[in-house]
Structure 1
Amino acid sequence: MTVGAVADLCLLHVPLKEALDLMSADVVRATFVGGRRITPPE
């Protein structure tokens, strides 16, 4: 690997991780809201 390729990977890695964190947070939120919607109110 060239130094440029490694630098590109490092630059891509952080936004990618942040994007994954945001996506997983959205999935958890959607699952939580969906679960609340599905369960009958007590």
Structure 2
Amino acid sequence: MPYSVVIAVSTSIIRLYQDETHAEACVSMMLQVYLGTRAY
């Protein structure tokens, strides 16, 4: 996965994680994206 993508994803996770109501959904979403990108 491109380094720029990792930075963008990490930034999004940090921003969303600050909102407790979105933290769990964010983590599950990013795991799906991460596993999806690794599949290819």
* Bigger Rg, which one: 1
Percentage identity across paired residues of the two chains: 0
List structure 1 runs of 4+ shifted beyond 3 angstroms. none
Hey, what does 1:39 align to over in structure 2? none
Give the unaligned 5+ runs of structure 1: 1-8, 31-42
Where does 1:1-42 land on structure 2 (aligned, <5 Å)?
Answer: 9-30=19-40
Give the unaligned 5+ runs of structure 2: 1-18
Larger RCO (CA within 8 A; separation ≥ 6): 2
Q: TM-score scaled by structure 2?
A: 0.51
**Count of aligned pairs between the two proteins:** 22
Q: What's the C-alpha RMSD, in Å, of the aligned pairs? A: 0.6
